[in-house]
């Protein structure tokens, strides 16, 4: 029996599983998925949980039931690559012959004092539920600060505005414009949307510290009720702790087959894997497809084909439920159309 363990049933892990199940797998392969949650989290929609505009059921999906797959639910504590086993709470260690690490990312607080203790997060289901409660329980005209104006910060701020017109919402943006990786047309559209929807954006911000009831930026301290951190991510701590080579963002370096060069039975996907591309669900999914092909060849005793270069299709973002932005056919597009397209892509992904 060959034992394949997949750690994390998110965008990368689930894609590998689904693709493997579609193939004619040899009978002597046992697949184990380990995740803290007994469902797949649609993380790209977590901003709706933070704003209270989605039911939780709409942002998670059941894992596929298949006799070739065993699910183990628990909090992974350690990946022991020397003895090839996984330690997790409430369960015996899970041994493996082949391993996929698909554990995603967590907040990077960049050493800002108080950020870990006093900010809300959108990075895990447990923490984004807490964020949604904190925002939802605010009294009239409560104050919300979002630190970071990348894709997730923008979506969180816009969705909260649409959900609660009374709240005072402030975005602290390190850059000179929002969404620094996007086209100027998109940056302008988002800036206009925030202006006309009464969301304050402070550019060139440098948050010095966060405390209970306040956030201090560029020497000015604001009284604030809820601070949401969207100012950076880093690979999951379990991946960062592994004795493998990392890049300058602490992501694990892999070869062309997504294998760890020092232990080729270990594969890394998504936010934990070093890549020329920025981390995204789309990237994790495409890497997952390629890893499934490689694994299938390896597990059936063949030679894997070298995966092709990854070509991403561009990013779609939302400004509430009826406005958005994104790249279509390499062109920046704003307004209703990209927003509808984003909903359509989500619907298709869920159906698949
Ligand atoms: C608000 C927001 C909006 C986003 N919007 C977009 C977007 O529009 N487009 C896009 O492409 N990307 C978007 N992203 C990024 C995208 O969600 C991630 O890049 C993607 O989820 C990474 O996939 P992954 O497989 O690496 O990890 P994940 O999908 O995060 O999966 C990790 C899995 O590991 C499990 N896990 C983690 N630690 C443990 C542990 N210790 N024990 C057990 N289980 C564990 C988790 O429960 C989870 O199921 C967004 C992210 C956020 C937060």
DSSP per-residue string spanning 190-211: HHHHHHHTTEEEE-S--EEEEE
Give the pLDDT of residue 145: 98
Minimum CA distance residue for ligand 1 atom 23: 11
Query: What share of the chain in percent tops pLDDT 90?
Result: 93
Check whether residue 8 and residue 101 sit in a common domain: yes
Check whether residue 94 and residue 128 sit in a common domain: no
Check whether residue 189 and residue 246 sit in a common domain: no
Give the pLDDT of residue 349: 84
- The residue written with tokens 């034992």 in the block is 3
Of the candidate ranges 69-73, 154-158, 218-222, 286-290, the one whose mean pLDDT is the lowest: 218-222
Check whether residue 217 and residue 162 sit in a common domain: yes
Residue 20 resides in a domain: yes
Check whether residue 18 and residue 81 sit in a common domain: yes
Show the CA angle centred on residue 201, arms to residues 195 and 205, nearest 5°.
160
Check whether residue 136 and residue 219 sit in a common domain: yes
Residue 147 resides in a domain: yes
Domain end point (choices 212, 231, 250)? 231
CATH code of the domain containing 181: 3.50.50.60
Check whether residue 162 and residue 151 sit in a common domain: yes
pLDDT digits (tens, 9 = 90+) for 275-293: 999 999 999 999 999 999 9
Is residue 33 within 8 A of residue 286, CB to CB? The reply is no
Check whether residue 242 and residue 100 sit in a common domain: yes
Check whether residue 225 and residue 238 sit in a common domain: no
Residue 27 has pLDDT above 90, yes or no: no
Give the pLDDT of residue 233: 97
Q: Is 151 in the pocket of ligand 1 (CB under 6 A)?
A: yes
Q: Are strands 98-101 and 94-95 parallel, antiparallel or unpaired?
A: unpaired
CA 310 centroid distance within chain: 19
Domain end point (choices 210, 231, 252)? 231
Residue 148 resides in a domain: yes
**Position 329 confidence tier, pLDDT thresholds 50, 70, 90:** confident
Residue 159 resides in a domain: yes
Residue 327 resides in a domain: no
- Domain of residue 257 covers 2-36+74-106+233-299
Mean pLDDT to the nearest integer, 220-244: 97
Domain count, the chain: 2
CA gap 323, 38 in Å, rounded: 33
- The residue written with tokens 């065993």 in the block is 70
Q: Is 229 in the pocket of ligand 1 (CB under 6 A)?
A: no
CA gap 340, 321 in Å, rounded: 9
Is residue 252 within 8 A of residue 244, CB to CB? The reply is yes
Give the pLDDT of residue 123: 98
Residue 57 resides in a domain: no
Mean pLDDT to the nearest integer, 306-318: 94
From 104, 190, 339, 342, the mutation candidate for ligand 1 (largest count of ligand atoms within 8 A of CB) is 104
Mean pLDDT to the nearest integer, 261-270: 98
**Position 181 confidence tier, pLDDT thresholds 50, 70, 90:** confident
Domain end point (choices 257, 272, 299)? 299
Minimum CA distance residue for ligand 1 atom 38: 103
**Position 24 confidence tier, pLDDT thresholds 50, 70, 90:** confident
- Ligand 1 centroid, distance to 47 Cα (angstroms): 13
Check whether residue 100 and residue 116 sit in a common domain: no
Find residue 4's DSSP bridge partners: 31, 98
Say which residues have a Cβ less than 8 Å from residue 348's Cβ, sequence separation at least 6.
none
Check whether residue 153 and residue 255 sit in a common domain: no
Give the pLDDT of residue 348: 87
Residue 56 resides in a domain: no
Q: Which of 274, 250, 281 is nearest to 108 (CA)?
A: 250
Mean pLDDT to the nearest integer, 81-96: 97
Check whether residue 96 and residue 129 sit in a common domain: no
Residue 206 resides in a domain: yes
Q: Is 9 in the pocket of ligand 1 (CB under 6 A)?
A: yes
């Amino acid at each position: 029996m060959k034992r394949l363990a997949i750690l994390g049933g998110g965008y990368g892990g689930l894609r590998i599983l689904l693709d493997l199940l579609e193939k004619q797998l040899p009978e002597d392969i046992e697949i184990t998925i380990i995740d803290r949650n007994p469902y797949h989290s649609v993380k790209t929609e977590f901003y709706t949980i933070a704003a209270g505009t989605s039911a939780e059921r709409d942002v998670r999906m059941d894992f596929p039931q298949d006799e070739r797959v065993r699910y183990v639910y628990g909090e992974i504590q350690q990946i022991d690559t020397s003895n090839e086993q996984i330690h997790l709470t409430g369960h015996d260690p899970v041994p493996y012959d082949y391993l996929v690490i698909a554990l995603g990312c967590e907040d990077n607080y960049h050493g800002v004092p108080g950020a870990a203790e006093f900010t809300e997060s959108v990075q895990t289901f447990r923490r984004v539920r807490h964020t949604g409660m904190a925002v939802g329980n605010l009294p009239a005209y409560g104050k919300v600060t979002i630190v970071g104006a990348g894709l997730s910060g923008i979506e969180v701020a816009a969705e909260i505005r649409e959900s609660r017109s009374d709240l005072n919402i402030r975005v602290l943006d390190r850059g000179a414009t929002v969404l620094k990786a996007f086209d100027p047309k998109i940056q302008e559209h988002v800036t206009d949307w925030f202006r006309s929807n009464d969301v304050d954006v402070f550019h060139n911000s440098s948050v010095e510290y966060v405390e209970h009831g306040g956030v201090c930026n560029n020497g000015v301290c604001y009284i604030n009720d809820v601070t949401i951190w969207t100012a950076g991510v880093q690979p999951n701590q379990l991946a960062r702790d592994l004795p493998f080579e990392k890049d300058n963002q602490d992501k694990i370096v892999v070869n062309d087959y997504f294998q760890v060069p020092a232990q080729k039975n270990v594969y890394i996907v998504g936010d934990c894997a070093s890549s020329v591309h920025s981390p995204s669900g789309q990237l994790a999914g495409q890497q997952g497809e390629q890893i499934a092909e490689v694994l299938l060849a390896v597990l059936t005793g063949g030679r894997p084909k070298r995966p092709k270069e990854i070509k991403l299709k561009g990013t779609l973002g939302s400004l509430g439920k009826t406005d958005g932005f994104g790249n279509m056919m390499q062109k920046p597009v704003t307004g209703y159309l990209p927003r509808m397209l984003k909903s359509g892509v989500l619907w298709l992904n869920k159906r698949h």
